[in-house]
Structure 1
């Protein structure tokens, strides 16, 4: 790719990860290499299975996986997770800067910020240090203004109506 941009998918509506995956699948179909880093996701999902089918051009790595929600962790468990994330962040930064992938997706980057696992400055550093030829995609609710200002494209997913509010549980193949 000649020129890569920074895309942000944010907002309180459903579809941020799905939009990033759609972009990834389109790019893989055009022979591009894509890697997705998912923060704070632990359950088995359809995209993990699909990524296996699309190797070597598509890969998903999960960071900050924990057996409990971050708000249920003890102070010690949270500090351990935070240290693990710092190491994982350095891997992410190295892979981004390598230029080995056409598209690098950081799924739930904003959640990692809001939960205190990454700083806004660390995510801005990803934007600043991304090679010219790499597309960087960041997802998550409540994108900080500093990230919005640095991005080239920002899409806000706005919830207008959601069946979860009627008690519909997460559905295999739709949400996971």
Structure 2
């Protein structure tokens, strides 16, 4: 199966569920015989979904280019430079995936955080969107979608934090948040 028309979907906002939504789309595509590649930026720890997705075989692959690190706001300048190189390597791979049309759905998880953190240029994401094959679905996640990327998108869903148990002091829970 091939997609007749691939679109650009964005999942953004300060609420929980952006990555979860993109994985759900990927699983649906995979279940219909489509090939999915997911590149995760600014994520390096083991997660439950990663454990499952890595067992799906060649038609759903997750790539991470970053070594495990602390949160970006806790990094030294040297660690930030290393992170910048790792993110650049991941984005170069995304450009290769698009150029070589290596999948039916490409998910760039936390690409907005990489743009907003100054690790990827906004105009480079726009160029990637413009260069994708018409049959490739492109899914982008992360808070604060820049206007130029929003303008190129076909769907934008905002996850809005109305009430969150983190505000009650309940930390991230294994099996739910990771």
Within 2, Cα distance between the matches of 1:66 and 1:171? 19
TM-score for the superposition, normalised by structure 1:
0.94
CA RMSD of aligned residues (A): 1.3
Write out aligned runs for 1:92-107 (5 A): 92-107=94-109
Alpha carbons of 1:117 and 1:64: their partners in 2 closer, same or farther (altered >3 Å)?
Answer: farther
Runs of at least 4 residues of structure 1 off by over 4 A?
A: none
Write out aligned runs for 1:8-47 (5 A): 8-47=10-49
Within 2, Cα distance between the matches of 1:151 and 1:137? 9
Write out aligned runs for 1:18-97 (5 A): 18-97=20-99
Q: Deviations over 1:20-49 (max 9, x none)?
A: 000011111111110110000122101111
Write out aligned runs for 1:156-167 (5 A): 156-167=158-169
Q: Verify the 8 A CA contact 1:11 1:156 in the aligned structure 2.
A: yes
Gaps of 5+ in 1: none
Q: Verify the 8 A CA contact 1:39 1:65 in the aligned structure 2.
A: no
SS in 1 for 2:124: helix
Deviation at 1:168, TM superposition (A): 1.3
More moved, 155-164 vs 48-57:
48-57
TM-score for the superposition, normalised by structure 2:
0.93
Alpha carbons of 1:172 and 1:76: their partners in 2 closer, same or farther (altered >3 Å)?
Answer: closer
The equivalent residue for 1:130 is 132
Deviation at 1:129, TM superposition (A): 1.0
Q: Verify the 8 A CA contact 1:4 1:136 in the aligned structure 2.
A: yes
| Number of matched pairs | 176
More moved, 86-95 vs 71-80:
71-80
